[in-house]
Amino acid sequence: MTARTLPPLVDHALGLGAVLVAWQVYVVAAQVPAYLLPAPAAVGDAIANLAASGALWLHLAHTLGNIAAGLALGTALGLAAGAALARSVRLERWLEGPILILQTAPKIALAPLFVIWFGLGAASKVALIVSLTAFPVLVATLVGLRGLDPALRDLARILDLSPAQKLWRIDLPAALPDIFVGFRIAAVQAVVGAVLGEWMSGKFGLGYLMTFASATYRTPLLFAAVALTVMLGLALHLALAAAERRLIRWSGAS
């Protein structure tokens, strides 16, 4: 099997293995203190200890729950807004300014406001994730629907489809390749938003684990939390890539 035909998961595993080997060699050769840069083995021990104590599953489940809720709501909002703007150029002109203002506002500055508005619980974290994920899905949906083949309108007219039926049966399936670009960006943003929200408030989640490890100078634990966040983001990316291949093949979109 050549490198060109390796499955994506194998490619990622090979790349990760190369990074870990280089990391281990550098730490040993340069005799880097563990408080500055722990060896991969020390990070692995920290993850194993978290798993053995049960804390790993608690923090991971908390972060995953926030990501799932925020990504679902942000995706639904982005799809609905993108479909609405695609149908009306005038509506797009009216809303373009407010949407861009909300998107360009620094989320690190807005995060404390979400805590004030929605409290210290999951609501503030989900709201932050929605604010990060809705926009890329909106833009991707708008681009996909605006770029459809005009012949599809004639097909919908021949089939006597209502606007809602045309959107669901023809437009969205045909726009799936573009929409999934937004999905993939939104998934990465959802992980960032979840960690940022857990930095700001709460006592659970991978983001909280990072702040706790940093405050207590437990560098291996800090690297373990970062590594778990990276693996979580990679798992989401691979899951979306698999869903994209299956849905696009099913819908016949290209």
Residues of the chain with pLDDT under 70: 1-9, 11-12, 92, 96-97, 152, 154, 156, 160, 249-254
- Could you give the residue ranges of the DSSP H alpha helices within 88-146? 89-104, 107-118, 122-146
Give this prediction's pTM. Answer: 0.80
Q: What is the pLDDT of residue 1?
A: 42
Tokens at 105, concatenated:
């506002």
CA atoms of 103 and 96, how far apart (whole Å): 11
Tokens at 18, concatenated:
């190369």
3-state helix, strand, coil in the chain (%, to 5): 85, 0, 15
Q: What is the pLDDT of residue 170?
A: 77
For residue 25, give Cα distances in angstroms to 20, 21, 45, 46. 9, 6, 18, 19
Q: Do the Cβ atoms of 114 and 127 come closer than 8 Å?
A: yes
Tokens at 216, concatenated:
């207590």
Q: What is the pLDDT of residues 38-51, one digit of tens each?
A: 988 889 999 999 99
Q: What is the pLDDT of residue 23?
A: 87
Chain centroid to Cα 166, Å, comes to 29
Q: Please name the residues in contact with 123: beta carbons below 8 A apart, sequence gap of 6 or more.
A: none
CA atoms of 131 and 14, how far apart (whole Å): 34
Q: What is the pLDDT of residues 125-155, one digit of tens each?
A: 999 999 899 999 998 998 888 877 777 676 7
For residue 224, give Cα distances in angstroms to 27, 144, 174. 16, 39, 41
Q: What is the pLDDT of residue 150?
A: 73
